[in-house]
Amino acid sequence: MRWGIVGHGRIASTFLDAARGVGHEVAAIVGREASRAAVFAANHGIGWAGDELTELVSEVDAIYVATPHSSHRDVAVVLLGAGVPVLCEKPMAVNASQVRQMVEAARSSETFLMEAMWTRHLPVFAAFRRWVDEGRLGEIRMVEASFGFSAPYQPTDRLWAPDLAGGSLLDVGIYPLTLAELAFGTQPSSFDAEAELSPDGVDARLRLVANYSTGGSARLASAINTDLVPNGRIIGTEGIVEIPEFWRAERMTLTSLSGEKVDEVNTPHQINGFEYQIVETARCLEVGAVESPVVTWAWSTTMAETMDEIRSRIGVIYPCDREFL
């Protein structure tokens, strides 16, 4: 495959390494400033760079959108309208209304679209679901997960700026929510949330206690001003699963309730973990699918709806939300 990338932040480099690692080509890159895109291209051996999306279309088979959250919808809708397959960095968009617009654009043009929630593609979680289906955990009662780091407060940085949909929830809080969804197979039926807001009104730190229709619950946390240990723990009536660095998981352990190790999985990434979603995109395009069963359009929509409700409870409203009010 020949890939294009829109955006040239750090995550673009991670994607590029994974794509090349599975034998794909990254042929072109677009950025808001042609000069910065050209520097990125020169530093990474990419043959074409520019600042116009329409010029990128003819150069590639699919495009990875790696811009700030606030522009995901606008970039993807243009590309999908031109019939270009899109792998869009998580979160799919700032809110559920934007996600629905993206899905409608993909459906109307019959063009592939997938949210790049790479965690859902990791082999560890395929093994985890097998353990659950085999009843090795019994009934899942509790999920505990957190993901946070300490970033300096810079009002114009994408992590902190409301115009760029900053805050911990959309950036890293989506990962604990994803782990809980993988465990319970559904979004929360109810929850309590509390947050520490920045001076500009984005969530610097968030804590969530969520209840699920299966009878279990989750204690989840995210932060951009505090280092939190990114480990996941799933507690069932028959066993406990520990997943170090669950968001990029390479291993997990199953223990009995008494603490005895029962089983473990160790699946080191071939490259950096992004390769699995890249391979899945290629598989879907090869068979003519416009939607992946790993990260469906419905999954992206319901996750966005959940995060919309969380933001509503804690009082985080972005400027782009107002177009739907």
Of 69, 90, 120, 205, which one is the catalytic site residue? 90
CA distance readout (Å), 266 to 122, 127, 129, 256, 280: 12, 10, 15, 18, 21
Which whole-number Å values give the CA distances from 312 to 195, 201, 202, 292, in the listed order? 11, 12, 12, 29
Are 37 and 50 within 8 A, CB to CB? yes
Residues contacting 270, CB < 8 A, separation 6+: 21, 22
Is 90 an active-site residue?
A: yes
Looking at residue 292, the DSSP 8-state letter turns out to be -
Backbone angles phi, psi at 109, to 5 degrees: -95, -5
CA pair distance 240, 257, nearest whole angstrom: 7
CA distance 73 to 65: 10
> How many residues are there in the chain?
325
DSSP 242-264: EETTGGG--EEEEE-TTS-EEEE
Count the neighbouring beta carbons within 10 Å of the beta carbon of residue 62: 23
201: Cβ contacts below 8 Å, ≥ 6 apart: 162, 315, 316, 317
Active site residues per annotation: 90
